[in-house]
Amino acid sequence: MDYFFDWDKAGDAHVGIEPIFTADEIVNKVDELAGRLTRWFDTEPVAQVAMNGAMMFGADLSRAMSMRGCVMEMDFIHVTKNRQKSTIELKATTELPVKGRDVLIIDDIFEQGRTLTAMREYFLSLGAESVTSVVLLDKSGNNTTSIRPDFVGFECPDVFVIGYGMDIAYRYRELPFIGKMGRA
């Protein structure tokens, strides 16, 4: 049975959503990443969660790191992508000072690297000492990208995913697992 959620009892409310990564798998992966990241930082990082999709991942990861003794400040950055124009826009930027500090970018999905590049450049332009990135899902496949995340949770098939903070038309963010519409 999945953590927090008995999928069989969901009934018709979630018909057609097939889990790709279960809640239990996510909990275990977040725990593993928290251990690795806590050992990585010898300072108190400034965690920057990419909204809205990484909100649940960011919350769970920061709590798991805190349980291991990692103290951090945390803020949210809102980044939007216009796929038709291939542009990235920072809609809400950090309010925390990052000059001379280590920044940890927490994001949900890595595909082509444009969002991660924009966030990394933004924090470096503010004088960050270092920028480390962690993503829950890597959907880049065999694509060659100019940047790679420093830490990755899962390699993800090239399908549109929902749940655990990720949505379709603002729905399904609340699911404790990551799934796809239709059969996997």
> Which pTM does this prediction carry?
0.89
Which positions ≥6 away from 110 have C-beta within 8 Å?
116, 135, 137, 138, 139, 140, 148, 149, 152
Number of domains comprising the chain: 1
Q: Does 11 map to a domain?
A: no
Q: Does 3 map to a domain?
A: no
Q: Does 123 map to a domain?
A: yes
- Structural domain for 22, as ranges: 18-181
Proportion of the chain above pLDDT 90, given as a percent: 71
Q: Does 125 map to a domain?
A: yes
CATH code at 167?
A: 3.40.50.2020
Residue recorded with tokens 């809400």: 92
Please give the pLDDT value at position 6: 56
Q: Does 8 map to a domain?
A: no
Q: Does 6 map to a domain?
A: no
Higher pLDDT, 1 or 78: 78
Q: Does 84 map to a domain?
A: yes
Dump pLDDT digits (tens) for 122-157.
999 999 999 999 999 999 987 877 899 999 999 999
Spatial strand order in the sheet of 161-162: 17-21, 178-181, 161-162
Dist CA 130 CA 162 (whole Å): 31
Q: Does 1 map to a domain?
A: no
In single-letter form, the type of residue at position 1 comes to M
